[in-house]
Structure 1
Amino acid sequence: MGVANWVMIWTAIMPLAVILYYFFRKKYKDQRVSSTLFWQERMKELQASPYLKKLQHHLLFYLQLAALLFCVLALIEPFNESETLAGNDFVFIVDTSATMLAGSPTHFEKQQAQMKKLASQAGGKPVTIVTTGVSPEVVIRNEQNVERVEKAIDQLAVSYENAEMEQTILFADTLATNDSTIIHIFTDYLDRAALANKTGQSYQVHGFSEKLTNVAIRQLGLSETDKGTRGIVQVINNSETSMNATVRLSSGSFEKAVEVKLEAAEELLVPFDELPNYKLWQAELDVSDDYAADNTMATYLAPPVNAIVIDSALHELIASGFRSLALDVSLAEATQLQPDAGLPLVTNQRDLLEATTPIFMFGRNDENPFEVTGQIETKPHPLFTYASLDEVYVSQLYPPFKGYETIATIDDHPFIQVSPKGDIVVLTDVQLTDWPLSPSFPLFLWSAMESLSDDAEFLGFFQPNEHRSMSLASPTGEWEIFRDGAYRHSYIEGSGPFVAPNEPGIYQVVGDEKDMTMIVQLTSQEKELSAGSSYVMGQSKAVQDTVRFSFVPFIIGIILLLVLLEWEVYRRGIATR
């Protein structure tokens, strides 16, 4: 509360002048007195309280005095101040990655409360909410109703997929209407470098500086030995203190547990020997930390493929790469390749893509390459789990295949594609790249073999909410997805790409005549917690503005009402004379 014009306080003498005028004005009234005895009594009554009686008999005076007092109040301009967000409209970027589930209450719940608080301070200005991910989504657009904004905030949920914050920020920039738009980013951690070169908008980052404890299962691997199945669980302590934990490996009714102690920032390989020959296994970490989403991991032990057939027309480096994986490599002429042999084929023959056997295509024999420059950009895919292509150089590419999923590009040109039935296509020749000199080359070949040799009962490994083109070949084309016997959703072939569930775990994909298992896993980025901070970057450094709410319009309305009442009192007084 306050006033903006104390100088006009001198006008308070006006109601005082009216009061004095009513006190001392002379007003004569004819009055008949029947006797001098009664006259004396009448005079005593008037002299007892002359000023009070004058006030008691003048309603018009009260109304005039009240109107003058409100006029004085209006002249000094009283107001009330309230805090509101700086800017004319706002874009809320909400991090929905798995790490937002850390803490108790979780970071996501705290950010929801913060968003609702800021929405209430928006003062009716437009609010847009965008969620993060590979495909950012607009939840609401330019909404001015606070209740609808709060309802949309309450309905937000964690999607478990990578935030892809830089991509989401670029998308949010396109939603900004002008330079006065303020973009609020609600996350756990965001490096300032992500906003260092952005000067067109103003950004307010809401992060968390608290350091939480976390022990995660980084990897789970299984292999068949002479004594049965051997498993290795890689556990890492991302905390600054030592942690005690129990690592459990289970499949069906079988379970085996190992007690471990991890020092700060320690990585530990926990072996499990002489396991039964089951296919589906799950590792679970029993530990008291602040983040539980990375405490479980599943894997599937697919039958190993020990042999592969390679087109002899391809470069020798391809065969050398597969031999380094301890595979039985056979070379064959292009005319001798058997498309229905069941073994994976490595070739550049375009016609063999129609075969039923798995195909790993390196180059094309039906097109000419064109020159490209630039770095390789990859999309999240299991083929790149262990193979990084950051330092690989490619000079030329072949034209892509229509209808295939592109998982790696160079200058926006497809570099690596996956066909609907799972064939892998690398659109270059070995001699056109230095890839064989990189350690990622044999790792990529190994990942490709794992992908091509998937079990018929195993659909594959997926990331949360991953979109993938797949041909499941069901008679009706309808598949139902279950987890722990509970129905989740359905997928209709031909309606679009197959979308994996957003929550990590083991799922059953059930068709008319087929039942397959799929595993949804967190990415390695979602298994690391980082402490951040809140800061402001961009054009404006102001976080909040002060808005004045003036009472003058309401006071003027009261004054007009009092004037109407005065007129009515005056009119009635004249009428009764």
Structure 2
Amino acid sequence: MGIGSWAGLWFALGIPLILMMYLLKRKFIDTPVPSHLLWKRVLENTEANRPWQKLRNRLLMWLQILAAALLAFALMRPFLWAEAGTGGTLVVVADVSASMSAVSALEPNNSEASAQTRLDELKREVLADTRQADGALTLIRMGGTPQVVASAADDRAAWNRAVEELETDYARTSYREAISLASAVAEGQKDARIIVYTDGQWSERVDDLPVSVPVEVRRIGGENYRNASIEQFGTEGSRAVGVVANTGNSALEVGVELSGDGKAQGNETLTLQPGERRTVTFDRAEAAEVYRLSLTGQSDDYAADDDAFAFPETGGTVKVLLLSDGNLFLEKALRLSGAEVTRLDLSGNVPTADGDAEASETEKDTGTTASKTPSLPEEQPDIVVVEGELPAALQSGAWGEWLGSAALWKIGGEEASRQPGNRRAELNAHPVTRYLSLSEPYFGPLTEGKPEGLQTVMSIGGRPAIAAGMENGQRALWFGFNLQSGDLPLNSEFPVLVSNATTWLSGGRGGGLGRAVSGAAVEVPIATGAESALWRPLQGAAFEINNGATEAVNENQTSDSSGGTGLASSQIAPGIPGLYAFEQSGNGLDDAPVYLLDVRADASESAAPTAENPVFAAAEVPNAAAGDHRSRLPLTIPLAALIVVIMLTEWGVYRRGRSI
């Protein structure tokens, strides 16, 4: 006999409570009263009776005590061991968690066998154990979401295919839900039993779940487990810092390598004892958009935690250098677009951050700044906005090289200009003119010609007014009119135009979404007009598993809250660890921001498996290795029926008044 849960023993406290009720029960004696004058004295004597009395042999009391004891015993879920047959329904629970991708160490002397994973070992054991089964077979996949892969299968060929097609799930595994699903599937089936195939690396307790059918656990994998894991990784200033831990049970020597945009920037060799953690620090040789920290050298058993990535946070600020004599409307519109603006006054003032600093009084009086070449700002801008003529001093030398490495937006400045034949503006499809009509503003005179190589985006009276394209490998935007010559800055569409221009010139800058567990929900900024999106693998296991291909891994087209076909901001992270880019597309959406995401496997899967059985206590689980095929027969239902009989008997005794 066994006990399913000792927690039911608390209900046995009801027995002393029943005894206390009988100890405190008051006993009254029938007393003949010849006159009502004596009734007052009898009542006083009765009230003076002591509450404590000697327990008497009462049948009603013994029935109540027996019912309470049986109820407490039933809540402990007792069962009897019985021999289990090979027929009936067999429910197989296959653990496909991330740790099942670890290399199996059952046969370390055989190099070919050691290359097999725990999941490969699981498949072999399941197929071998079910080859001679003569009952219905059900396969449950225990991963991020429990799934019935095969239900009551009689076709052995279909069963074998279902087992062979099992793949590793790197999401956070739902162990409790999987066992509950297996119990529900087996409930009510004739001679049903459950077999759980697992490596024992569980992060949840399930021994308190009510399972009414026999359960057997078969362990996969050996006792020796080698694994080093990158637990943390990030960049700060000119340094890259990572934390490497040995989560296995044997010493390891691993190499740690830092790379930026695919170029190696440093490496270090560590010797780690079991449970030891070390912090590694690298001085970055050069700036990069994506940094990767990898474990190399001696390979460990579990590779899903050997890479980590670091990149700028979401929505990196666009840095704009504004070369202008002063244009409050343009400067304010640039800030409204989210850009960080530094203004250099072409009339002679020094560079100012957000337009706050001005030239010194001495410089204004002497006019020395007009002839000086200003010093280069500390940070390289993403966009250079030139309003008017660009001084000759800034077109060559260090300034010329510096400005040539940024996107250029040139506004007006040409002396040769004339009024167009009419004021009608014609827009061409382009990200700069998205959501605009520009039919009301007056733009003023237009210059005689647009720069070569740029495509006309807007024309007025048949003459180019706005053009966009590429110059010297950088994006370029040209306005053939001066903002001060018309009323465009006063129009409500002007901030939208500036925002569109900033977004297009910066290349639709996205940024980093941080780090997420496979299959977890991720909040992504969705571009207006996006109709579909995909996760594209860039580096890591996801890229290598797909043999370097960059095809879409997961489509993310969903319905928005209004019932449309737009993208929802909450997206599901890809299922394979690695570095991904979230790319959006839609009608007229040519330059949507691209966001990076570092997908990691569940961190709890990196730990070494425990020696204890993860499903039930050791005394309750049959020893499969010793050939013990016993099953559990629950006693809860017979005990419940007996309690009902006792309660009916108690009611009959009470009605006869035998215990009063």
TM-score norm. by structure 2 comes to: 0.43
